[in-house]
Amino acid sequence: MAKLTCFVTGTDTEVGKTIASAAILEAARQAGKRTLAMKPVASGCEETADGLRNEDALMLQAAMTESLPYEQVNPVALQPAIAPHVAAEQAGRTLSAERLAGFCRGLQMKPADLLLIEGAGGWRVPLNPRETYARVPGILGAKVILVVPLQLGCINHAMLSAEAILSDGLSLAGWVANHPRPEAMPCEEDTLGYLLNHLPAPCLGVLPWQDNPQPAELADHLDVSVLFEN
């Protein structure tokens, strides 16, 4: 049974959740941990000879230490590159937090030190008219890791996301700062300093920009030991 379950969310979409997740998995592997990962819902999948496949889910599949078939890594694959609830509706499918949590529970039963679950978009991304994705880690009792892109507006988005996570009764286990583009943001050190002093969780690391992300190299910028301390 997985000893630790963490849910990776972002302050928004396209902030580097998958890159951060893959780097965390690699850092855990280097620390001698057995890892599993999944992206329960993925939109923007491409049709292949093996069926719909998602680039992010494939990266997670390659980064974990244990072997899983793609269908367990990404049980709900949707083709349109749009919000998951809209993509599901267009595909004639219905998303529910309980069903997604059920997929996650299946992996929680497998032996591993860490199960990493990557969400979609930010904390309040809807699954249906009544539920948001935040309900899934709530059902699972998962710890949350927040990915923060170092760009203008990130302080406000990061603080609001952290407040929402805590107000939902979940534990913010840590956060990762990511460079989403090659150029540094204005006054980056000031921004990073504010986040370090005000976000109510430890910073696991600051990921540099990579045009072709390599988890093995990015892992050198992370310290995931705090995740396994409790």
SS3 106: helix
Indicate which residue of 3, 39, 110, 143 is catalytic: 39
Pairing of strands 172-178, 203-207: parallel
- In whole angstroms, what is the distance from residue 77 CA to residue 52 CA? 6
DSSP 135-179: HHHHHHT-EEEEEEESSTTHHHHHHHHHHHHHHTT--EEEEEEE-
**Annotated catalytic residue 39:** yes
Angle at 202 (CA atoms; ends 200, 205), nearest 5 degrees: 135
Active centre residues (catalytic): 39
